Amino acid sequence: MATVLVPLAEGFEEVEAIAMIDIMRRGGIEVLVRSLKEELDITGANGIVVKAENTIYDVTADDIDMIALPGGWGGTDRLAADENVQNLLKAMDEKGKDIGAICAAPFALNAAGVLKPNFTCYPSVEEQIRTEGYQGDKEQVVQDGNVMTSRGPGTAICFALQIIKKLVGEETYSQVREGVLATYCD
């Protein structure tokens, strides 16, 4: 069974985090929902509190197949500044393991030096990263090497489905996609 880490930081985008966690679990992926700090109740960008299962402190690149970062500027800033997250992103990239980020979260990948040349993100966030390589709205999800990026809350289900396709396979991807009526996802 594939294992994906979803780290939650204060100010995370709730739609993205919950959609990713839910869809990946429907696809049979073990999702580790972890807090960046000792407090497990994490408040999202819109005031919704989500309880993490544990902290991120004990997670290593060897423990997981992928790390997937939800956006939200407050959460993204914390992910970009967090030493544990940044070190984990670098270790994942060094091992060629999968890394994902949606909305503003590619900013945190850029801070770690792991963002690949072709990416997408929430409109205007590319100005905080770089504009070359930005794919805009050409695709809902952009894959470049071991890094997968997506645009925002409206593409969160498609993003999670692409993670399923990559880690579990086409058959499970199709089953979950049809089961949640996400036929708009490619």
| Structural domains for the chain | 3-179 (3.40.50.880)
- Residue 103 annotated among the catalytic residues of the structure: yes
pTM above 0.85, yes or no: yes
Provide the phi-psi class of 105: left if phi over 0, else alpha when psi is between -120 and 50, else beta: alpha
Residue-by-residue pLDDT tens, the chain, 186 positions: 999 999 999 999 999 999 999 999 999 999 999 999 999 999 999 999 999 999 999 999 999 999 999 999 999 999 999 999 999 999 999 999 999 999 999 999 999 999 999 999 999 898 889 778 888 888 999 999 999 999 999 999 999 999 999 999 999 999 999 999 999 997
Among 103, 121, 158, 185, which one carries the catalytic annotation? Answer: 103
